[in-house]
Amino acid sequence: MKSQALSTAFILIVTSSVAGMVFGAANPAAATSLSWNWNYQASGIAASGTFITNDTPDSSGFYQIVGITGTRNGDTITGLQPAGTAIPGNEPYAVDNLVSLGYPQLTGNGFGFSTSAGDYINPFFADFLSPQAYLEFFSVPSSPSENTELPISFSASPASVPEPSWLFGLLILNGLVVNGTMSNHWQQRVKLRK
């Protein structure tokens, strides 16, 4: 009987621990950031990658971008421009590194990044245009005459999360294990009473 109770306790602890890891309780850092997929294109421009943001939007609905990976026209993105600073060649226009689920997804300051080719890029929302549009400021510090500011089509969305059916499957498995263990326990008690 004692070994059966210990076995039941062990199974409950293991399945509860697994459920905790699935729901993020075992990894508090996962609950403090979000991963986003982003991309934009225009004639002769193709950029895409991943943002890491905080997990809570500000009062205007914007999330702070704290990390970036990806490529622009085949060049690897090497870093995120610090918020409050301008990419080289685009002074004094500081980036704020904010992204939103709603429209517009970028602010008038946008985000900034550098590439392995030594270029700097600042996609942003130009609300001063009619019609309003997303633009990319492209800076080549070694050759400022190559700088451009062109309209782009921009999109960003949070990366997918595990399917709820997978989580429910884990909970069902937990219930079956507990039910099977308890059933064996009660069957043994009935046999002892006879």
**Digit-coded pLDDT (tens) for 51-62:** 999 999 999 999
Phi/psi for 77 (5° steps) reads: -75, 130
Encoded amino acid at 151, one letter: P
- Give residue-wise pLDDT tens across range 99-135: 999 999 999 999 999 999 999 999 999 999 999 999 9
User: Is 135 in contact with 126 (CB distance < 8 Å)?
Assistant: yes
How does residue 31 score in pLDDT terms, banded at 50, 70 and 90?
A: low
> What is the percentage of the chain residues whose pLDDT exceeds 90?
65
| pTM recorded for the entire structure | 0.69
Quickly count helices (H) and strands (E) in the chain: 2, 9
* Residues whose CB is less than 8 angstroms from the CB of residue 115 and which lie 6 or more positions away in sequence, other chains included: 71, 72, 75, 76, 77, 78, 121
Dig out the tokens for 2 from the structure: 């004692």
Residues 182, 2: Cα–Cα separation, whole Å: 13
- For position 65, what pLDDT does the model report? 98
Residues 136, 66: Cα–Cα separation, whole Å: 20
Dig out the tokens for 124 from the structure: 């942003």
Say how many C-beta atoms besides its own lie within 10 A of residue 170's C-beta.
Answer: 15
Residues 26, 47: Cα–Cα separation, whole Å: 35
- Give residue-wise pLDDT tens across range 139-171: 999 999 999 999 999 999 999 654 444 444 544
